[in-house]
Structure 1
Amino acid sequence: MLRFILTVFALGIALAHAPVQAQTIVVAIEDKDYAPYYTWVDGKPEGPCVEITAGAIRLMGAEVEFARMPWTRVLNSVETMRADAALCGTKTDERISFSHYPDEPLLNYDVTLFVRSDSELTTSDPEALSDKTFALVKGYSYASIDDRLEEEGMIRVEATGRDSLIKLLMLGRVDTILDSRLPVFTDAKRLGFEGQARALSPSLAETPAYLFFSRKPGYEALASRFSAALEEFKSTPEYDVIQQRYGL
């Protein structure tokens, strides 16, 4: 009997140390570029949001699969628990209601107003911009800055996508647009408007962007595991290389 017990005990130790199949975390990601934070190249996502996420998930001993879809479906797929997580979103009360946020953000976005280079506007002070129009991408979150601009008397215009956002400004349909510096200047260059937009100073906010998780059973703990792995990843040389590559 003692021999049998020892055999079972030894088997238990062996199983405990046996390799197990790595968990695959399905991450929903917008199908449009938000350069340089995430872009699509030959059907594969690139950019700091993607690379930081993948690096942290590797440290968890898991694998990542990116699922490409429109931004509204990204949010819906997390809310309906068809995806495990979404990249690379800011925190809002609405999103908190259907997702778990890790403590550690992937990176920070600036929230900035932009004008055409020939605009007479010189400041981002909302009081000086009363009655001016500002455009933003429908469905995006701007750390509630958009609500504050409306409260200060600015007029909201919603663009259907990033290309539309830039074109509204370049065609003079709106006075300003609200977004982040790196994506706006990247999009303007791609659309043939390089040098024709400038940022109003100062930026209105810095807002953290996260990999946020669905409310599947056990995923609050998964978000905490990811947060710890992300914090660890940020101390690695690989993370330093990513920051330098994208000018973060």
Structure 2
Amino acid sequence: MPDFTRLIAALLLTCLSALAHGEKLRIVTEPWAPYVYVEEGQAKGFDYEVTVEVFKRLGVELDWQFLPWKRCLAMVDQGLADGILDIFQTEERRKQLFYPNEPLSDVEFVLFYANARPHSVNSLADLRGLTVGTSPGYAYASAFSESPLFTREPAPTHEANFGKLQRGRIDLLITDRRVGRYLSKNLGLEQQVSELPLVVSRQSQYLAVRRSTGMEVLMQRFAAELRRFKSEPAYAALNARYAGVGDNFRSTVEQQERSTP
């Protein structure tokens, strides 16, 4: 066996042996339905269930905690958690975390507005003078995050952002398309809020782990097993089960999106 292969195997065994002796992999995340959420005390969601299945195949047990996003980031940074689910890649985060080379899902950040106070936005320049609700700790496109044209106002939860939008405390809010649709439906706001066709940014979501011994190899194994799972009927069935969750919005919005170049 080549020396490099022996080293990789040793690192992986070091990581997995610790997990095998009752030390579960501690993963934190914020509820982000329909990707990961808790319903009637049961954790579920497309990315959550995919992650559970992949680690099950790797023989790794998981310990989950659902917390506000900024707390999740702090726990990983402080070594209080091993991994974080549904995180975007940024240059700064890659210095602290190992990412697999296979994403779990892709998201599209769009803007939502209250129907009682509509706004026409075709570019970020159209946000001049407005206040946009954001979520603390989330990484948006730099053109959005650094623009001096408008105000970004964070809220403690995604639900709180929709409440502020409904009450007119913010002009718009930004969130993932499917997350916004899911929340608007579950909060009973489908007839009161709409989404704009402009896509502010598209990003991939990952499971990432802190930089420690054996974790990089674990992510390589995770990526390989994730790709294998994606080619199987079980993955297609799971994808089909969540395909419609959060997608039932308003037909007028769908028509706008189809007509957008």
Unmatched tracts of structure 2, length 5 or more: 1-16, 245-261
Q: 1:57, 1:226 within 8 Å by CA — same for their partners in 2?
A: yes
Decide whether aligned partners of structure 1 residues 91 and 145 sit closer, same or farther in structure 2, where only a CA change above 3 A counts: farther
Count residues in correspondence: 225
- For 2:202, which of 193, 206, 211 is the aligned residue? 206
Q: 1:87, 1:210 within 8 Å by CA — same for their partners in 2?
A: yes
- For 1:218, which of 209, 214, 217 is the aligned residue? 214
Whole-angstrom CA distance in 1 between matches of 2:122 and 2:170: 15
- For 1:59, which of 52, 57, 60 is the aligned residue? 57
What SS is found at the alignment partner of 1:62? Answer: coil
In the TM superposition, what is the alpha-carbon distance from 1:87 to its structure 2 partner?
Answer: 0.8
Q: 1:137, 1:161 within 8 Å by CA — same for their partners in 2?
A: yes
In the TM superposition, what is the alpha-carbon distance from 1:117 to its structure 2 partner?
Answer: 2.1
TM-score, structure 1 normalization? 0.83
In the TM superposition, what is the alpha-carbon distance from 1:22 to its structure 2 partner?
Answer: 6.8
- The aligned counterpart of 2:47 is 49
Cα RMSD of the aligned pairs, angstroms, is: 2.1
What SS is found at the alignment partner of 2:159? Answer: helix
Unmatched tracts of structure 1, length 5 or more: 1-19
- For 2:97, which of 92, 96, 99 is the aligned residue? 99
Q: 1:89, 1:212 within 8 Å by CA — same for their partners in 2?
A: yes
- For 1:82, which of 80, 83, 103 is the aligned residue? 80
What SS is found at the alignment partner of 2:38? Answer: strand
Matches within 5 A, 1:54-203: 54-144=52-142, 146-148=144-146, 150-151=147-148, 153-203=149-199
TM-score, structure 2 normalization? 0.79
Whole-angstrom CA distance in 1 between matches of 2:37 and 2:74: 21
- The aligned counterpart of 2:242 is 246
User: Which amino acid in structure 1 is aligned with residue 142 of structure 2?
Assistant: S
Whole-angstrom CA distance in 1 between matches of 2:52 and 2:141: 25
Name the stretch that deviates more: 189-198 or 229-238.
189-198
What SS is found at the alignment partner of 1:108? Answer: strand
User: Which amino acid in structure 2 is aligned with residue 189 of structure 1?
Assistant: K
What SS is found at the alignment partner of 2:236? Answer: helix
Whole-angstrom CA distance in 1 between matches of 2:111 and 2:223: 31
Whole-angstrom CA distance in 1 between matches of 2:27 and 2:142: 25
